[in-house]
Amino acid sequence: MKPRWDKVTLAHGGGGRETAEIVEYLLVSRLPDALKRTPGGYGLDVLDDAAAIKTGDGFIVVSTDSYTVNPPFFPGGDIGHLAASGSINDVLMMGARPIAALDGIVVEEGFPLGDLERIVDSMLRVFRDNNVSVIGGDFKVMPRGSIDKIVVSTTVIGFTDKKPIVDRELRPGDVIIVTGPIAEHGAAILAARLGIESPELRSDSKPLTDLMIPLLESYRDAIHAARDPTRGGLAMTLNEWASSTSLNIVIDEAEIPVREAVRKYAEMLGVDPLTLASEGVAVLAVDPSKADEVLEQIHSLGYSEARVIGRVREPARLKGVVIMRTRAGGLRLVEPPSGEIVPRIC
């Protein structure tokens, strides 16, 4: 089917509705089902945070991403730290332990060597601190003006001897847990672009190994879906889950953790915090019989602001939607974000 647009726009890279459309049009629709995954594995057939390849004794889980965040240095991190953390998190969200990484760096001619060293050192520090080996990569330079500063691509490889966590296994009754305040990264990038300096607006960019490995060891079978809500934020994550399963997700606005400084800043700019990226938060769908135990362990691991924000429901008249109980006591649909939410955010 011919798309409703004839040119690529910034919205196509924003992580919202347009991103899903262009991925479907350019990739998913052009491949036969047999080539969307390897035998026994998961790939474009599920469009999860990573892909999984079946091996004799488990699954190799692989995630690849290109990071174009602007500015490359921001309060709370930089593009190198973000690239390493983001790809590690994608592997973790599929239930695997990250073990190795490759990187690809493309810089503009004239890029300051000192800045490049800071970015590479930051990336390598994350991999080193999380015991992820760097086994290869690539380095390219483009003529001045051919690229805006720097692009960092990372591929992280992990392994699990259990079935990967696939978000399409969301089930009615599942409890939705958010492990910390949302929208931190998106708010920090917006502020940096506008030249606003505030100690209260900092990216939450971090690898979630310290959280997810203990959870996977204790409660792997109770976690039915997991995602880090990056581009498109919490709104896009929950809508993708609901749409792919035809189930409904009901969330409570009052329970969604958003720091007051972030909330006020988003309101000032007319941006919904639910659509802003988080880079150090996990969203989990957990078996209701284990939800209290999982939340208690998350708190014990230092994620004290984790909250239960909603549940998965069987659809009634509408299906595959996200519904929010507002602070005012009403109900509203949380739609997938659309347009140029925050382009080049990660």
Can you give the pLDDT at residue 29? 85
State whether 174 and 149 are in the same domain. Answer: no
Share of the chain above pLDDT 90, in %: 79
Can you tell me the distance from the alpha carbon of 4 to that of 165, in angstroms, rounded to the nearest whole number?
33
- Please check whether residue 231 lies inside any domain of the structure: yes
In whole numbers, what is the pLDDT of the chain averaged over residues? 93
Is residue 3, in this structure, part of any structural domain at all? no
169: region left, alpha or beta (phi > 0 left; psi from -120 to 50 alpha): alpha
* pTM score: 0.94
Token pair, residue 121, equals 């050192």
287 with 230, same domain: the answer is yes
**Domain annotation covers residue 181:** yes
DSSP E strand stretches across 201-288: 223-227, 248-252, 283-286
Name 217's Cβ contacts closer than 8 Å, sequence gap at least 6: none
Residue 1: pLDDT band (50, 70, 90) is low
**230 and 89 in one domain?**
no
**pLDDT > 90? residue 14:** no
> Are 106 and 220 in the same domain?
no
131 and 267 within one domain = no
Q: E strands along 218-343, which residues?
A: 223-227, 248-252, 283-286, 307-313, 322-325, 331-333
Q: What is the CATH number of the domain that holds 73?
A: 3.30.1330.10
Same domain, 177 and 316: yes
Same structural domain, 112 and 37: yes
Asked whether residue 64 falls in the same domain as residue 143, the answer is yes
How far the first Cα of the chain sits from its last, in Å, is 29
Residue 123 and residue 173 in one domain: no
How many domains does the chain divide into? 2
CATH code, domain with 250:
3.90.650.10
- Does pLDDT of 206 surpass 80? yes
Single residue among 110, 130, 160 that ends a domain in this structure = 160
Q: Does 291 score more than 80 pLDDT? A: yes
The reply to whether 148 and 192 lie within a common domain is no
More confident residue, 323 or 6: 323
The predicted-structure confidence for 249-261, as pLDDT tens digits, reads as follows 999 999 999 999 9
